[in-house]
Amino acid sequence: MRKENVLRKCMIGLVGVQVGLTLFAAVTTAGQKNKNSIDQKATQAVTVESKQSANEKENPKSDKKHAIKEKADVNNKDAVPTPDATVLPATQAGKMTKKTNYKKYSNTSIGWGVSMHADHTTPGGNVPKGVSLKKYQAYYVGNTKEKVMYLTFDCGYEGGYTRKILKTLKKENLKAIFFVTKPFIEENPKLVKKMKKEGHLVGNHTCTHPQLSKCNVAKIRKEINDCAKTMKKLTGYNMDAFIRPPEGVYSLRALKVIKDMGYKTILWSIAYYDYDPQNQPSVDYVVNKFKTYYHKGAIPLLHIVSKADCEALPKIIRLMHSKKYHFKTLNELD
């Protein structure tokens, strides 16, 4: 029942994101909805097709938050491995290094969305005119001149597929990043430690999953710092200095605060409706998304609660290898 209530909150949050996406779309096709189509159920999806290529815009909502918290036995010596320093920034993440007048930065909410291209060129993103994301250490693609992909997973709560995902990555000798919320860490400290032990990055997905544009500076810092502190306390590991904004909603002010805290903001360039465990796409649907929209420097958004993503992952990896692509982690961003 708790998860159902949270899901309703998530779907309500999508309405705000949809507004941002609508402003971004240059052309919108209307009147062709099919109630039985999973694409039409994804309120973020807007598809525009032409003779040469098809562009698809999607902005799936990030993971739901789970309400139940389990206590971790941090006194158990076996439970706390030696901390590492995988991707720590030059200055400790979470520590403000500058005094900034944040009021001069726009706090207008922007719902992230991309226009994916079937000709495998770099997608366009919902960025205000004249704004450079890299200026704020924010990225939605990596090296667009190299056949490379960066696997990213959002972790709001455990759905029973994470261990299988880790097993697949280990078998393929690939590393990814998992963006975790505070509740996920509290409920699954051993799983988070397993991620780190196996060489993956673990990034920040905040404590309560708010739209950061609706938070003041102090609230943004608290959301990020408390999540990182919880990870350190329960796992012994430092959180890697990357963050994914909940729901993909950001503002220039939020990006500036995040940058000043020593984090890089990670958005995405490939996405689809996969986050609802009760309404999963088919494995073929997922693989076809990658087959149609892969591109150099791609950062796909995947969810650990998705059975389809879990089962499609080996096929996605084989597909990309067949296209002569390789996989990198976000600490190799160019």
- The dihedrals phi and psi of 330, each to the nearest 5 degrees, come to -65, -20
Helix axes 217-235, 252-260, angle to 10 degrees: 40
* Cα gap 306→158, rounded to integer Å: 10
SS3 (DSSP) at 155: strand
- Judged against a pLDDT cut of 70, whether residue 24 lies above it is answered with no
SS3 176: coil
pLDDT band, very low/low/confident/very high, at 99 (cuts 50, 70, 90): confident
How far is it, in rounded angstroms, from Cα 202 to Cα 86?
10
Give residue-wise pLDDT tens across range 137-152: 999 999 999 999 999 9
Report d(CA 265, CA 332) in Å as an integer: 14
What is residue 203's three-state secondary structure?
Answer: strand
Catalytic residues: 154, 303
For residue 297, the model assigns a pLDDT of 98
Dihedral (Cα; 16, 19, 21, 23), 10-degree rounding: -150
Q: Please tell me the predicted confidence (pLDDT) of residue 224.
A: 98
Q: Could you read off the pLDDT of 302-320 as tens digits, one per residue?
A: 999 999 999 999 999 999 9
Q: Residue 148 in contact with residue 327, Cβ under 8 Å? A: yes
HSE, CB side, 13 Å, CA atoms: give it for residue 165.
29
Query: Any residues with CB less than 8 A from the CB of 260 and at least 6 apart, and which?
Result: 96, 97, 98, 100
Query: What letter does residue 273 receive in the DSSP assignment?
Result: S
Q: What is the DSSP string of 222-275?
A: HHHHHHHHHHHHHHSPPPPSEE--GGGEE-HHHHHHHHHTTPEEE--SB--S--
Q: What pLDDT does residue 22 have?
A: 38
> How far apart, in whole angstroms, are the C-alpha atoms of residue 134 and residue 221?
21
* Mean pLDDT computed over 117-142: 97
Is the pLDDT at 79 greater than 50? The verdict is no
What pLDDT is attached to residue 42? 36
Structure tokens at 16: 């705000």
pLDDT band of residue 83 (cuts 50, 70, 90) is very low
For residue 9, how far is the Cα from the chain centroid?
Answer: 18
Place of tokens 């902005």: 59
Name residue 24's amino acid.
F
Residue type, 56: E
pLDDT of residue 184: 98
Q: Predicted confidence band at 98 (pLDDT cuts at 50, 70, 90)?
A: low
The mean per-residue pLDDT over the stretch 174-191 comes to: 98
Could you give all domains of the chain from N- to C-terminal order, each with its CATH number? 2-332 (3.20.20.370)
The overall pTM is greater than 0.85 = no
Structure confidence at residue 40 (pLDDT): 35
Mean pLDDT for the chain overall: 80
What was the pLDDT predicted at 61? 44
Per-position DSSP letters for 104-130, written without gaps between them: GS----EE--EEEETT-PPPEE---TT
